[in-house]
Structure 1
Amino acid sequence: MEGVAAAGVAVTTAVHDLGGFIRTQREAAQVSLRQLAKRTGVSNPYLSQIERGLRKPSAEVLAQIAKGLRVSAEVLYVQAGILEQKDSSPVLDAVLADTAISERHKQLLVEIYESFRRENATATTQTVPTTHD
């Protein structure tokens, strides 16, 4: 029974942390709760409950909030525990933080960058056979 209670506390803490993170992002963007509700199509009371850790939003709602805050949906998914944290990279951080490009363009850039990294990692692990005379 203690394990169930501990798991419940962990979920509650994670939801509260997500709400706090969203509030911090909203305040940093100098966006009111009403403005965010208008941008996202998510009701003001529901956003308030998310920020206070009373509700756990779906991935779709998180995507709407991310778009309204002009942050990467991936960042919110990681905060919510939907995605695992990837290794940090200054290049990826810069792409994900850029507000001048769309979420779709960010996703494409990240995919291209990661494919180059995989290709280079494969190339460096392959050894060139040498001949011994």
Structure 2
Amino acid sequence: MHTPDIGSFIKDLRENAKISLRQLAEQAGVSNAYISQIERGLRKPSAEVLASIAGALRVSTPAMYLRAGLLGKDDTHGVVAAISADPELTLAQKQSLTQIYETFRRENARDTDRDDAGTAESAVEEDHQ
């Protein structure tokens, strides 16, 4: 199985965002030397560092984990992975699409929770009649 090159991915995201290595390091809270080593493939970042870098680059953490090989395709949403992997989309477009998709999923989860709660209340009322 092909191991994703997380360093090149991070470098591409950083360059597309037009931020320097130092700016990314400062925003992610890690040293610029460490970011440089990650981008060159000399160091493998921890999940915590990847989450910090994802936040600084405004990319979803699951997409970053998927690209780093920390998650399998079954562990995350295929839609988010497809968005992040699409070379035709700009970074801003990827961020927007991912945010919209995640917003819809959260709304649907809340609706499902409310529906489940309503069904449970109805069942309790029927039991007491």
- Shorter-normalised TM range: 0.5 to 0.7
Whether the 8 Å CA contact 1:72–1:96 is kept in 2: the answer is: no
Measure, in 2, the Cα distance between the counterparts of 1:106 and 1:38. 29
Deviations 1:46-96 (A, max 9, x none): 000000011111110000000111111111100111112356448x94997
**Alignment match of 1:59 (pick from 47, 50, 61):** 47
Structure 1 counterpart of 2:17, one-letter code: A
2:3 is matched with 14
Q: Which residue of 2 aligns with 1:30?
A: 18
Q: For the structure 1 residues 41 and 87, does the alpha-carbon distance in structure 2 shift closer, same or farther, using more than 3 Å as the test? A: closer
SS at match of 2:45: coil
Match among 70, 81, 97 for residue 58 of structure 2: 70
**Over aligned residue pairs, what C-alpha RMSD do you find?**
3.6
Distance 2:110 2:79 in 1: 14
Specify whether residues 29 and 73 from structure 1 end up closer, same or farther in structure 2 by C-alpha distance, changes over 3 A only: same
Structure 2 counterpart of 1:60, which letter? E
Identity fraction in percent: 44
1:1-133 paired onto structure 2 within 5 Å: 14=3, 17-85=5-73, 86=76, 88-89=78-79, 93=83, 97-98=95-96, 109-113=104-108
Unmatched runs of 5 consecutive residues or more in structure 2: 85-92, 112-129
- Equivalent position SS for 1:98: helix
Q: Offset of 1:112 from its aligned partner?
A: 4.5
**What are the Cα deviations for residues 77-132 of structure 1, in whole angstroms up to 9, with x where unaligned?**
00111112356448x94997229x6xxx975653544788xxxxxxxxxxxxxxxx
Distance of aligned partners of 1:77 and 1:24 in 2 relative to their CA distance in 1, 3 Å threshold = same
Q: Which is worse superposed, 28-37 or 105-114?
A: 105-114
How many pairs does the alignment contain? 100
SS in 2 for 1:14: coil
